Amino acid sequence: MDEKSPKNVNQDQKKKDLIKAIEIDQNLTDDEIREKFPALYKELTDKKMNIRIDEVKSDSQISSFQEGNTDQDPFSNYDPNIYDFLARARTDEEGQEIIDFLANQGQISPETAKDLTKKLKKSGIRSFGPMRPSNYYYRKSEEIKRQKLIQKRYPSQFIDETQD
């Protein structure tokens, strides 16, 4: 029973042959990459690479998580601001309701409410940022934890800019 059937041996050999076939020499020239991997070459040389930035974290938010455990939720002590709430709104009307509610609760000043309402009427709800879908903070938290784990495993890949 421990012996492999001829079918399994054949599949194992096919896997080994496939692995050998896709081994990549690290000293390939541009022409060799273009010839062997045309789709990859196009992707690498295409100038349409974009990086989307959804938000910018303050240094204190980043450093408080850097010292901690990667299992820790980076949003555990996060206090959402008016822009976080407005980013969850789907329509201008929902945005106005949020502004009115926070003003009535005393969480924003009447002047701030007036300025936000003016911006909302002039530019619309998406002027406060892209729509944050359901589970936004959970997904963002998992992304941050994953990035932190990668930084722990491969510290030489990341440069500490604070030491300049």
Q: Half-sphere exposure of 28 toward its Cβ, with a 13 Å CA cutoff?
A: 13
Per-residue pLDDT band at 71 (split at 50, 70, 90)? low
Cα–chain-centroid distance for residue 44?
21
Find the Cα–Cα–Cα–Cα dihedral 149, 150, 151, 152, rounded to 10°: 50
Task: Give the tokens for residue 159.
Answer: 């440069």
How far apart are the C-alpha atoms of 153 and 65, rounded to whole Å?
16
**Residue ranges in 49-132 assigned as alpha helix (H):** 59-66, 82-88, 92-104, 110-123
- Count of CB atoms within 10 A of residue 65's CB? 21
High-pLDDT (> 90) share of the chain, %: 23
Q: Is the pTM of this model over 0.85?
A: no
pLDDT for res 138? 82
Asked if residues 145 and 71 have their Cβ atoms less than 8 Å apart, the reply is yes
What are 150-164's pLDDT values in tens digits? 888 877 766 555 554
Over residues 109-133, the mean pLDDT reads 92
pLDDT for 116 beyond 50: yes
Distance CA(129)–CA(117), nearest Å, equals 15
Q: Give the domain ranges of the chain.
A: 79-154
- Residues in CB range of 83: below 8 A, 6 or more apart: 128, 129
pLDDT tens digits, 91-107: 999 999 999 999 999 99
Distance CA 125, CA 131 (A): 9
Start-to-end C-alpha separation, the chain: 63
